[in-house]
Amino acid sequence: MVCSSILLFLYLVEIHLLSKEFSTVWCRPQPRAWSLSPGIESHIGLPAWSLLLPLPMSLPFSLFLLPKEDQDLSPIRNRPILQHTYLSCFSHYSARKLATDIISTVEFNHSGELLATGDKGGRVVIFQQEQENKIQSHSRGEYNVYSTFQSHEPEFDYLKSLEIEEKINKIRWLPQKNAAQFLLSTNDKTIKLWKISERDKRPEGYNLKEEDGRYRDPTTVTTLRVPVFRPMDLMVEASPRRIFANAHTYHINSISINSDYETYLSADDLRINLWHLEITDRSFNIVDIKPANMEELTEVITAAEFHPNSCNTFVYSSSKGTIRLCDMRASALCDRHSKLFEEPEDPSNRSFFSEIISSISDVKFSHSGRYMMTRDYLSVKIWDLNMENRPVETYQVHEYLRSKLCSLYENDCIFDKFECCWNGSDSVVMTGSYNNFFRMFDRNTKRDITLEASRENNKPRTVLKPRKVCASGKRKKDEISVDSLDFNKKILHTAWHPKENIIAVATTNNLYIFQDKVN
């Protein structure tokens, strides 16, 4: 035991020294990317080497000191995060505040290295995970700002005399095929394909140009030289490669990339269009639920997604709480669904608001493709694609709001569209709530946890405390009563790293990144 502690100590010292050497590379206070627009604070993360605190404060190292039989040393991504030891273990990691803009979408890319956020001002900010020295498997890099660009500008529709909002409704990453990254971002009317590429070398030594760009007089050139590439400060450029416009009369609410990586769909309130990523002047309408007489309109499309594995299958959800699965092989216009997922209404819970709270705000397939998850106002439901008549699991997100529906209708909160997400192994689902709370449900253990994303837990590496809302009656200590919930602080957008237990949670204008505590 003493031996191993000494060894550990020496190990620590060694790492400490090593890291000091690299401090100039790792511990830059400035964001790594060059193309940073002014005004965005950099994250509050700790420099890498401060992870290595002397014992006994260095939590990550307690792993090695405890008896082996009590420790689960399996790779982190496979460990159930809501295991007994992990229940209260999400630590605050970094936060970034946008001065004016409300975050409207959050999305990790396929490797999890990049995290994109879109905001109400039409900007996209991409964070990149620092590539940590992978000595310890549990240490994960922090996210720094990588690139910022203005994706959409406000437009004016002259025909209807209406302004088109530049708010980014959705961002979806394409899988990486070469050195550059591609993502689709959309506002209400237009989808854009952006290429994000790095440049860290530039050519020097031109014959006809000076270093500052001025042209040389050819007559002054006496010798010729070959330009060479020299390293430069990293610059990240974003350029729009395709603009898919003028295909939607109503507001686009979803985009989803097909598993063939060549096509994608975009859905508005009444129609779904299929696009090819290379072709911008043509799209195919695959679903159209617009009635001939608009006065007869009773149902709209709220979300749509392609199946992660079957390139011919997609689902779309409606404001009436139904999900339709369609097969594009059946016909060109998929107005007739292949499957209809709908849970019969519970007569005991019927009220005038039943339809509104049954409206589905988000639908997400599991990574495996076997299940899909839907979010309505009060609950999260998990459906097996093979069973249409009811979900296989239902989780109540904030059931204590059921008696407050009238007030929530009055202040319009009942129309809030919450999103939901799966973790990488499909064992845990997460969604947001009010008062800056977000909830996680472990499907295996059936345990759930409520956590809060707030500035009070500002110190990095602080463990988040589970929260509880007291529905009625006596309020225990540390519980929050329903009436003191702040309905202006809502978490609508959350994302889970596809491979690790890192989550991104967006409050109104803060982005929080949490990771699970390793212990």
Q: Which residues bind other proteins (CB under 8 A)?
A: 160, 162-163, 250-251, 269-270, 294-300, 302, 319, 352-353, 355-356, 359, 403-407, 409-410, 412, 415
Cα dihedral across residues 400, 471, 422, 123: positive or negative: positive
Residue placing its CB nearer to other proteins in the complex, 269 or 305: 269
| SS3 state at 218 | helix
Residue 205 identity = G
Tally the residues of the chain.
Answer: 519
Closest approach of Cβ 319 to other proteins, in Å?
6
* DSSP secondary structure letters along 243-274: EE-S--SS---EEEE-TTSSEEEEE-SSEEEE
What does the block give as tokens for 207?
């014959």
Residue placing its CB nearer to other proteins in the complex, 174 or 405: 405
By C-alpha distance, which of 255, 285, 253 is closest to 272? 285
- Measuring CA to CA, how many Å separate 111 from each of 79, 141, 281, 496? 19, 13, 31, 11
By C-alpha distance, which of 455, 464, 440, 447 is closest to 515? 464
Verify cis geometry, omega within 30 degrees of 0, for the bond prior to 203.
no
Q: How far apart are CA 141 and CA 433, in angstroms?
A: 28
Closest approach of Cβ 414 to other proteins, in Å?
9
Residue placing its CB nearer to other proteins in the complex, 251 or 517: 251
Residue placing its CB nearer to other proteins in the complex, 269 or 442: 269
Taking every pair of C-alpha atoms in the chain, what is the biggest distance, in angstroms? 92
Residue placing its CB nearer to other proteins in the complex, 210 or 412: 412
Closest approach of Cβ 297 to other proteins, in Å?
6
Residue placing its CB nearer to other proteins in the complex, 78 or 249: 249
Closest approach of Cβ 247 to other proteins, in Å?
17
In sequence order, the 6+-apart residues with CB closer than 8 A to the CB of 434 are 398, 401, 413, 485, 486, 487, 489, 490, 491
The C-alpha angle with vertex 509 and arms to 122 and 500, in degrees rounded to 5, equals 95
* DSSP secondary structure letters along 335-390: -S-SEEE-PPP-GGG--TTHHHHHS--EEEE-TTSSEEEEE-SSEEEEEETT--SS
Closest approach of Cβ 352 to other proteins, in Å?
6
CB 264 within 8 A of CB 277: yes
Closest approach of Cβ 30 to other proteins, in Å?
40
Closest approach of Cβ 74 to other proteins, in Å?
44
CB 359 within 8 A of CB 417: no
Closest approach of Cβ 267 to other proteins, in Å?
12
Closest approach of Cβ 450 to other proteins, in Å?
24
